[in-house]
Structure 1
Amino acid sequence: MSELTANIAAAEEYIRKFWNEKPVAGIILGSGLGNLAADIEQPIAIPYSDIPHFPVSTVEGHSGQLILGYMQGKPVVAMAGRFHFYEGFSMQQVTFPVRVMKALGIHTLFISNAAGGMNSGFKVGDLMVIKDHINLQPEHPLRGKNDENLGPRFPDMSEPYTKTLILSAFEIAKANNIHLHSGVYVGVQGPTFETRAEYRYMHIIGGDAVGMSTVPEVIVAVHAGLKVFAMSVITDIGIREEENVITHEEVLAAAKDAEPKLTLIFRELIRQL
C-alpha cells in the first residue's frame, strides 16, 4: 500500500465514524459559492482540521468543512472551501479530498469556481459551463510514481468534462430561463490576478475564462474514473482595455449574486443522477 493510499484510507475511516452512506456525488464549492451547502439536508459538518491528512483552507470565502448529507434525496458529500496551489500546498494536498470522496463512493464530481472572463460576449454574473480546459499551472497532481490502484499512469484527457452532464445542464437552464455560456477554462497558479497582457495571451490561445483552481481536481477526478461537471461564475471581465482594477471582495460579491442560478443547476443535475 502506498503512502497516499494509506492516507486516503485513514481519512475515509475517520469520516465513516460520522456517516456510513455511499454518496453518489461530490461537490467542490468555489469562492463565494458556499451557500449551496445550505441545501444539503440532514447535514453533518466535519472541520477539515479534524480529518486525517486534510489541509486547511486559508482563503476568505472558503469555510473549511466537509458536509455530508442529502440533496434531492441523493447522498452527497460537499467541500465548503477548497485548497489552492498558491496557498503553499502541494498538488497532492490540493487534490487529496477528491481521492477521499472517490473512496467514500462518489461516481460524479461537481465543481464550481469564480473566474475572470476573457470572452467579449461575457459579462459579470454570467455562468459558463466548462467544456474543456488549458492547464497553465506549474505543477501536475499526477507527477511522481503512479499507484495503479488509484488510476492509470497516462489518463486520457481528451474529454475531461462529461458531455451528457453538459447537455443536461443546458436543458435545465433553458427550462428555468437561465442563460448559460460554455467555454474553455484556463487554470493558472495565482494568487495575483492577471495582467492585461496575460488576459490577451490566454484568450488568444483559446481561453474564455481564467481561474486559480479546478484543473488539478479535474485531472485527479479523471485519473480516478469519475464523471465531471464544472461551472464558472464570471466575477470580473479582464479582457477590457479600460481601467479595470479587480479585488477579491468584488469577486465574492459577484459570485454571491450568481449563486442561486448555479445552485439550481447543480441541484437538478444531482436529482437526475
Structure 2
Amino acid sequence: MYQKLLESSTYIRRRIKSNPRIGIMLGTGLDKLIDKMEKKEEIDCSKIPNFPKVPPGKQVKLLFGSIKNVEICILHGRFPYYEGYSLKEVTYPVYVMKQLGIDSIFFINSCGGINNNLGIGTLFIVTDFVNLGGASCLIGPNDNRIGPRFVDMSEPYSKDYIQKAKQIAHRLRIVPQHGVFGWVPGPYYETAAEIRVFKAVGIDVVGMSVVPETIAANHLGMKVLSICCVTNMATGIHRTKHSNDWVVEVAEKASTNLSEWIRNIILEIDLK
C-alpha cells in the first residue's frame, strides 16, 4: 500500500501548485464551501493511479485551492462502503492526503438525529463515535511506515479543534449541538428497533460515513474535526418515511451557515 500511496501522491503533486495544509471531505448537499475557495485546481480521481474505480456516470474530484492564505484540499464525492467498496478503498483518499503533507482533516456530512434534543437542520460537532458496522479499515497487514499496528482512540476528534469550533460558532451566532456519532454501513435507513438500541447506549446521531475515515486519520496521526448536519430524525422518532431528496434539500439549506463556520475554522485553527 505504501508504494501505491507514493504513486498516487506523486501523480497529484506533478499536476498542482498547491501545498495543502487541511483536507476536507464534504457530504451530500454541503458544497458551498467550494464557492469560497480561491486559486482552484481540480483533478479527476478516476485518473489518479491506484484510486478506487469511480462508477460510470459519477464524478469524484480532488479540489485544491485556498481560503485566504490557508491552502486546502477537498474531496468532492466519496467512495461509499454501501456501493461495494472495501473499507481500505473507502479510506484511501485519507491516506493520500497524508502523503500530500496534510496533518489536519475535516469530515463534513449529513446524519440522522437520534437524541430528542436535536432537530432537523441542527449542526452537530462529533466528539466520539461508535462503530456499529463491526468492520475496520485497519484489518490486514500493517505497514509501520504508514501508521502503528494498534491505534489509540482516546481522542479520535481533536479537543483543540472542537473548542475552537465552539468559540467560532458562538461568535457567528450558530448554536451547534455535540455528542456521539454511530456508524452504520447502510444503504438502508435504520429500523425503529435499531434506533432504540442505539439511543439506549448513548448514540446521538447516526450516519453511513465518517467513522471509517476517522479511524484511518487516527492511524495516520492526523488531527480530526467532524461536523454534521442533522438532515432527518431517525426512524421511530420522526414518523414520516425517509427520503434522500429531503436529506439533500435540508443539507443545502444548512450549507450557507455551515460553510461560513468551516471557513472561519480553517482561518483560525492552529496548524503547527
Unaligned runs of 5+ in 2: none
Q: Helix, strand or coil for the counterpart of 1:97?
A: helix
The aligned amino acid for 2:231 is: T
User: Are 2:152 and 1:159 aligned?
Assistant: no
Question: How many angstroms does 1:247 deviate by?
Answer: 1.0
Tell me the C-alpha RMSD between the 2 structures: 1.6
| Alignment length (residue pairs) | 269
Structure 1 residues 261 and 16: alpha-carbon distance in aligned structure 2, compared to 1, 3 A threshold: same
Alignment partner for residue 234 of structure 1, among 200, 223, 230? 230
**Aligned counterparts, 1:42-81, within 5 A:** 42-56=39-53, 63-81=59-77
The aligned amino acid for 2:11 is: Y
Whether the 8 Å CA contact 2:181–2:205 is kept in 1: the answer is yes
- Percentage of identical aligned residues: 37
* Cα distance in 2 between the residues matched to 1:197 and 1:240: 8
Whether the 8 Å CA contact 1:34–1:63 is kept in 2: the answer is no
* Cα distance in 2 between the residues matched to 1:90 and 1:28: 18
Unaligned runs of 5+ in 1: none
Match of 2:106 in 1: 110
The aligned amino acid for 1:209 is: V
Whether the 8 Å CA contact 1:187–1:211 is kept in 2: the answer is yes
* Cα distance in 2 between the residues matched to 1:69 and 1:55: 23
Structure 1 residues 57 and 135: alpha-carbon distance in aligned structure 2, compared to 1, 3 A threshold: farther
Structure 1-normalised TM-score? Answer: 0.94
Shifted more, 136-145 versus 181-190: the winner is 136-145
Q: Deviations over 1:189-230 (max 9, x none)?
A: 000011111111111111100000000110010010100000
Match of 1:261 in 2: 257
* Cα distance in 1 between the residues matched to 2:153 and 2:14: 35
Shifted more, 256-265 versus 220-229: the winner is 256-265
User: Are 2:39 and 1:36 aligned?
Assistant: no
Match of 2:194 in 1: 198
Question: How many angstroms does 1:40 deviate by?
Answer: 1.4
Alignment partner for residue 218 of structure 1, among 204, 214, 220? 214
Match of 1:141 in 2: 137
Alignment partner for residue 22 of structure 1, among 19, 22, 26? 19
Whether the 8 Å CA contact 2:195–2:236 is kept in 1: the answer is no
Alignment partner for residue 164 of structure 2, among 155, 168, 171? 168
Q: Deviations over 1:214-251 (max 9, x none)?
A: 00110010010100000110000115456321111111
Q: Deviation above 3 Å: which 4+ runs of structure 1?
A: 56-60, 239-242
Structure 2-normalised TM-score? Answer: 0.95
Whether the 8 Å CA contact 2:24–2:107 is kept in 1: the answer is yes
* Cα distance in 1 between the residues matched to 2:53 and 2:241: 29
Whether the 8 Å CA contact 2:30–2:251 is kept in 1: the answer is yes
* Cα distance in 1 between the residues matched to 2:11 and 2:242: 40
Q: Helix, strand or coil for the counterpart of 1:111?
A: strand
The aligned amino acid for 1:35 is: K
Shifted more, 93-102 versus 195-204: the winner is 195-204
User: Are 2:146 and 1:150 aligned?
Assistant: yes
Q: Helix, strand or coil for the counterpart of 1:157?
A: coil
Whether the 8 Å CA contact 2:191–2:235 is kept in 1: the answer is no
